[in-house]
Structures are given as C-alpha cells and as structure tokens.
C-alpha cells in the first residue's frame, strides 16, 4: 500500500473512511480481498509470498494498514514481516497483536495506521519508534512521514475531503479518485528516491507500469453505528481492472 487517505471521526455520518492503493511488483503473488477462514472475523487480501497482508478489517472492531517507508535503505533479510504485523493486529492474537507493546525495531522501515472503536493510532519505526494517537481529521500517507506533502498524497487527501463534504454516500466514487494518473502541480517531491527502481521519483496516485505498479485500490467506510463496507478493485500489469470485491461487515460501536 503506497498511498492512502484516512478520515478519522471527521464527519457526523462516518466513524472512519480510508481510500488507498497498493503498489507492488506484478510478479509478487497475492490473494484477493476475502473473509479469511482462520480467523473468520478478518477480511483482507493476502500476500502469498510472505503470508501477511497490507490492509484489512476485523469484525471484532479493528482496522490496520501498512506502507513501506523510503529513504532508510532497502529491506534487511531476517527481520519480522510487516505483513505479519498487520495480520496479527487484525487477528487480535500472535506475537504482534498488541500495538502498545510491539518492538517496532524488529521490522524493516514502515508506517502503520491502526484503528478500533475508540481510537486511531499512527506507528512508525523511523527515524525512531513512534506511536501517535490521531485527533479527528483527514490524513494522508504514502512512503514518507504522515501528512508529508507529496503531490499524490495531497491529491488523494483532497479527493477524500471533497467526497466527505460534498456527498459521502457512494464509496465507489472513491475508487475513481484512486485511478488518477495525473501529476498535480503542487506539493513537494520526496527527499529520497524510491527503493524500487521502476518507480519514478514523482509518481501519480495510480502507477501504470508493466513491472511495478498499482495492484489494487481499496476503500473502507464505517459509519457511526458500525456498519462497514470494504471494496477492492484489482489491476493487471497493463493497469486494466481484472476484478472487484465488495464485502459488508459490522463493528459494534
């Protein structure tokens, strides 16, 4: 997941809204969004190479999403899986199930947003392990610091805010915002180049590239009484849509 916008208790109707794209090598195997058989309260895609996930929800009242963090070198072999971190947080069990006690230094550089019925937190392990409780508002995140004003991050954050203010009733509209290939003329370029050679220094919200690009777009909405929808649209190496999944779920708020 390489760019996302996240609204936390920022609207009378919505407890939270998330819209994001997962950018990855097209050859990396992944299973589409689905309800897991074990544990059966988790709804997420699955990385079939490392076994974890990048984004998901639990009907026990949890959401988690991770992005890699550029500018701190490539991944170091032998460190714990960032996807396993998300999977354990969603499952509510395992070595990384408690966000308050996880040893963040065990992982390669990452950003993480985790939310439940009561609060949302931002966690990162670079430049130092940090846990921040998020105030109500709209946030943007890519592979830099939280709300770092990269053009694509600002563009997607503005699209989410516009959706909330103008309508806020059709989550599918946010999937179209995640399809944008425009390069806006505002914001600051990343300080460091991507660790992925195929990704340009300044990339759009939707990356179309035959080797490395946007693999899926995901939207999550949860209203004030806990009714939720998670949508996923998947893409091939040509950037063409090849499948879409929509699943309803419920948090008891």
Chain segment 104-145, per-residue pLDDT in tens: 999 999 999 999 999 999 999 999 999 999 999 999 999 999
CB-count exposure of residue 204 (10 Å: 0-12, 13-18, 19+):
buried
**Nearest alpha carbon to residue 112 among 137, 92, 89:** 89
Q: What is the C-alpha radius of gyration for the chain, rounded to an integer number of angstroms?
A: 17
What's the CATH number for 3-250?
Answer: 3.60.60.10
Cβ neighbours for 177, distance < 8 A, ≥ 6 positions apart: 19, 156, 159, 160, 163, 205
Give the residue-averaged pLDDT of 163-187.
93
Cα–Cα distance between 168 and 51 in angstroms, integer?
Answer: 34
Q: Does residue 188 have a pLDDT over 80? A: yes
pLDDT of residue 200: 87
- Looking at residue 253, its pLDDT comes to 59
- Is there a contact between 194 and 209 (Cβ–Cβ < 8 Å)? no
State the pLDDT at residue 168. 82
Distance of CA 103 to the CA centre of its chain: 21
Residue 43 — pLDDT band, cuts 50, 70, 90?
very high
Provide the residue ranges of all domains of the chain, joining segments of one domain with +: 3-250
Chain segment 209-226, per-residue pLDDT in tens: 999 999 999 999 999 999
């Amino acid at each position: 997941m390489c760019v996302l916008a996240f609204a936390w208790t920022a609207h009378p109707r919505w407890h939270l809204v998330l819209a994001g794209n997962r950018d990855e090598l097209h050859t990396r195997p992944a299973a589409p969004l689905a309800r897991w058989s074990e544990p059966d309260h988790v709804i997420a895609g699955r990385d079939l190479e490392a076994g974890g996930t990048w984004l998901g929800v639990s009907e026990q009242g949890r959401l988690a999403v991770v992005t890699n963090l550029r500018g701190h070198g490539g991944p170091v072999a032998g460190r714990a899986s960032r996807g396993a971190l998300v999977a354990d947080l969603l499952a509510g069990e395992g070595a990384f199930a408690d966000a308050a006690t996880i040893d963040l230094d065990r992982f390669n550089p990452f950003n993480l947003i985790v939310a439940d019925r009561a609060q949302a937190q931002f966690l990162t392990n670079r430049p130092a392990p940090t846990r921040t409780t998020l105030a109500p508002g709209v946030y943007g995140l890519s592979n830099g610091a939280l709300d770092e004003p990269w053009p694509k991050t600002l563009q997607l954050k503005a699209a989410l805010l516009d959706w909330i203010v103008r309508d806020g009733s059709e989550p599918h509209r946010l999937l179209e915002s995640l399809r944008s290939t425009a390069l806006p003329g505002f914001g600051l370029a990343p300080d460091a180049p991507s660790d992925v050679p195929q990704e340009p220094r300044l990339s759009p919200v939707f990356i179309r590239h035959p080797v490395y690009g946007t693999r899926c777009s995901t939207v999550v909405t949860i209203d004030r009484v806990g009714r939720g929808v998670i949508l996923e649209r998947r893409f091939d190496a040509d950037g063409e849509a090849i499948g879409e999944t929509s699943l309803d779920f419920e948090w008891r708020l």
